[in-house]
Amino acid sequence: MDKYIRNIYKGVYTVLVGMRVTIRQFFQPNVTHQYPYEHDFEKKQNVREIPKGYRGQLYNRIEDCIGCKKCELICPVDCITITGDKLPKGEQLWDSMNVVHLKDGREVIGIIEGDDKKIMSEDSMTITNITTRLGPQEVIDRLEASEDESRAETFSTDEVSRVVTRNPVVFYLDQFDIDMSLCMYCGLCTEVCPTQCLVMKDSLEGIEYSSFDRTDLIFEFDKQEMYDKDETDNTEAAD
């Protein structure tokens, strides 16, 4: 009989304790977001900040790519396909160049006067032969033509966030395909990339790129596609 009453007590009491826990939560604010609505598509901003270094969609800045195929090799699921050829000896798509990333987000491509390894310790830097991204032949033409022009500009080192040296490109890529439907987002390819041109987008567009057709998820980063587009930085070449 003691156990009987004790059981009733226990049952009622624990139920009431549980109900106290839930009713407290009843008056707590929501933790969920109304995903697409509290989410500014125009500004490409989400209610939740996507942290820096998030492993989103793969993107290859083809101008920096030297076609080393290391990413193709390391990929555990073989989602990267690279075909290409070496140019005949002595030819190159462009010379060694420097990409200067400014703190306001702009990039200046040109050749730094002086030793580009030590340039960050100096006060200012002068960049000559500032160029834009155009088709390969046009680049070569322009480079040839601009020798006498010597378009130069000087920046103070405070403005500059980092300087990347681009090797002379002697490799012509026919095909640089990444099948994002196979990708497992391990990020190994971005780590082995020597020029750090293969990156994973840590922005909203690196996450929201769903499509209705599987073939739309094969992104072709090869040159021709890239240069046919305008100078916009963030276009991923797709059909």
Number of Cβ within a 10 Å radius of residue 206: 19
Number of amino acids touching other proteins (CB under 8 A):
42
Is position 8 an interface residue for other proteins (rule: CB under 8 A)? yes
Nearest approach in angstroms of CB 34 to other proteins is: 6
Complex with other proteins: residue 46 or 129, whichever CB lies closer: 46
Is position 147 an interface residue for other proteins (rule: CB under 8 A)? no
Is position 74 an interface residue for other proteins (rule: CB under 8 A)? yes
User: What's the Cα-to-Cα distance from 83 to each of 51, 69, 108, 118, rounded to whole Å?
Assistant: 33, 9, 29, 36
- Binding marks (x or -) toward other proteins, 151..190, rule CB under 8 A? ---------------------------------xxxxx-x
| Residues 6 or more apart whose Cβ sits within 8 Å of residue 86 | 170, 171, 172
Complex with other proteins: residue 55 or 61, whichever CB lies closer: 55
Q: Residue-wise over 57-91: b if at least 16 C-beta within 10 A, else e?
A: bbbbbbbbbbbeebbbeebeeebbebebeeeeeee
Q: By CB under 8 A, name the binding residues for other proteins.
A: 6-11, 13-15, 17-23, 25-26, 28-32, 34, 37, 48, 51-55, 74, 76, 184-188, 190-191, 200, 202
